[in-house]
Amino acid sequence: MERIYFMGIGGVGVGNAAILTGRRGHVVAGSDGKIYPPMDGLLRQSGIEPWEGADVGRLEKFAPDRVVVGNVVARGAEEMEWLLNTRRYPFCSLPDFLFRNFLADRHRIVVAGTHGKTTTSACVAFYLGQLGHGAGYFIGGAPINFPTGAAEGDRTAPFVIEGDEYDSAFFDKRSKFIHYAPDTLVINKIDFDHADIFRDLVDVRRTFSHLLRTVPGKGKVFVNGDDPNAAAILPCPWTTVYQVGQGLHCDYQLRNFAMDGLESSWEVAYEGGAMSCCSSLLGEFNARNVTMAILAAHASIGTHLPRTCDLRKFRGVHRRQEILQETESLVVYEDFGHHPTAVGEVLQTLRLRHGDCELTACFEPATNTSMRRTLQEEFSQAFALCDRCLLGVPRRIPSVPEEERLSQPEMVQSLRTAGVDAHYFLDNCQLQSHLLGELSRPSEKRRIVVLFSNGAFPGVLSAWRDHAPRA
């Protein structure tokens, strides 16, 4: 039994790692700034009391055998500076800790890509459970079918982990997934993101090419065959690679996609056979996510694909096309979309699902990339798919150099030129008031509203989550 201290314990990744460690019987403690729900409650339910704020004396009194440092911790943090100066206790990054303690002796299924990681990872773990293999999993979100985002599972079964390309720690700028040494690897769509870490798209592709180099000769890789950025990191002749997508060149070709508003169906054709699939998740991008999950699951346990695969009981992940309110005249969705590709895919899916509707998108630019001009034009193109677009305030915009900042007025002008009723707000409560005013007006069409943010979207999301406002 060890005593292990987690810096940044309020984050989803570090918090879940602390919970897994506590279940092993170790003594666990940790600190962070303000610790918000649901992680504070999950930690306490697991017998871990998270400490808010730094306290060197408290850390010294706890006397850990090891300190795990989350990537939210930077130079200058009081506890970290004391630890660096004294070298009192050994420390490591979160991904290094996960590999050494939970992954090293398992068949590792790593799900990577700019989009779809969380949904696909959760689907792999769920499907392996259906096949009778109690997989372990570590997922950077809240899967609806599981009580938590992490579980050790049966130690003889594979372990599924979401492969994040973000950096490991302030002292290890490699992507987290480099630590995970995949046996089975999924790489979905690759786009430029994390502008605070990567210089450009070439830099992003480089880290994914490094990931490919960690796959052994006996491993298997499933790559998005419709994405030119994924194709750009191929070939990798040292292992077996399969391309998955709608293109005729794909080893597993998705075809005959259909969606009836409640579920999706499609076929997967491959050399020597075909598989019919159905899912409760909507959109062609989710059909690819589910297909990748099925392929990775069977590859990891060495079984053949079935002729039919019914994954309608897999309900996905919270904050992905999640309905907050639904009436005959109005549906309000919450979605984690914070990149133009993801935003565009969701808006296209909702158009298909709801037909001739009035589609409104509200957007909080909350990431280091979305607050910058880097993808401003791409965001404008994505939001051109809706009828109305309301832009919220980037709360951390002062942290971005002025010349690099997203320009809300420019985006609004671009959208209006494209025929979209676009507005921007410097206060989210004003955005919410404007939205309610628009919804109070008569309309012959059903109104669909989607709230895009990977943050808290204060004044907007909370209003719909806590008590659905009357429109």
Which distant-in-sequence residues (6+ apart) come within 8 Å of 355 by Cβ?
Answer: none
User: Strand, helix or coil at 221?
Assistant: strand
Pairing of β 66-69 and β 3-7: parallel
Pairing of β 330-335 and β 322-326: antiparallel
Residue type, 65: D
Q: Which residue has the tokens 């939210």?
A: 72
Residue type, 353: R
**Alpha helix positions (H), 281-427:** 284-301, 340-354, 376-383, 408-417
Would you tell me how many other CB atoms lie within 10 Å of the CB of residue 223?
A: 28
The token duo for 123 is 């689907």
The CATH code that applies to domain 97-311 is 3.40.1190.10
Does the bond joining 365 to the residue before it have cis omega, within 30 degrees of 0?
Answer: no
What secondary structure letter does DSSP report for 454? S
Radius of gyration in angstroms for the set of CA atoms belonging to the chain, rounded to a whole number? 22
Residues 97 and 28: their CA atoms lie apart, in Å, by 14
Nearest to 291 by CA among 243, 349, 348: 243
Nearest to 146 by CA among 156, 157, 160: 160
Report the chain's terminal Cα–Cα distance, integer Å.
56
Q: Which residue has the tokens 């002729």?
A: 307
Is the separation of the CB atoms in 335 and 452 below 8 Å? yes
Residues 231 and 251: their CA atoms lie apart, in Å, by 13
Helix 340-354 and helix 376-383: axis angle, to 10°? 0
Q: Which residue has the tokens 């009580």?
A: 147
Residues 454 and 452: their CA atoms lie apart, in Å, by 7
Query: Is 322 exposed, middle or buried (CB count within 10 Å of its CB: 0-12, 13-18, 19+)?
Result: middle
The CATH code that applies to domain 322-466 is 3.90.190.20
Q: Domain extents for the chain?
A: 3-89, 97-311, 322-466
pTM, rounded to two decimals: 0.88
Looking at residue 468, what is its pLDDT? Answer: 56
Residues 262 and 116: their CA atoms lie apart, in Å, by 20
pLDDT tens track, the chain, 471 positions: 899 999 999 988 999 999 999 999 999 999 999 887 778 888 988 899 899 999 999 999 999 999 999 999 999 999 999 999 999 999 999 999 999 999 999 999 999 999 889 999 999 999 999 999 999 999 987 888 998 889 999 999 999 999 999 999 999 999 999 999 999 999 999 988 877 788 899 999 999 999 999 999 999 999 999 999 999 999 999 999 999 999 999 999 999 999 887 899 999 999 989 999 999 998 898 999 999 999 999 999 999 999 999 999 999 888 888 889 989 999 999 998 888 988 998 999 899 889 899 999 999 998 888 888 888 999 999 999 999 999 998 777 777 888 888 899 999 999 999 999 999 999 899 999 999 999 999 988 999 999 999 888 888 888 888 765 554
Would you tell me how many other CB atoms lie within 10 Å of the CB of residue 385?
A: 19
Looking at residue 239, what is its pLDDT? Answer: 97
- 103-114 residues labelled b (16+ CB within 10 A) or e (exposed): beebbbbbbbbb
Is the separation of the CB atoms in 260 and 334 below 8 Å? no
Look at domain 3-89 and name its CATH class. alpha beta
Phi-psi region at 115: left, alpha or beta (left = phi > 0; alpha = psi -120 to 50): beta
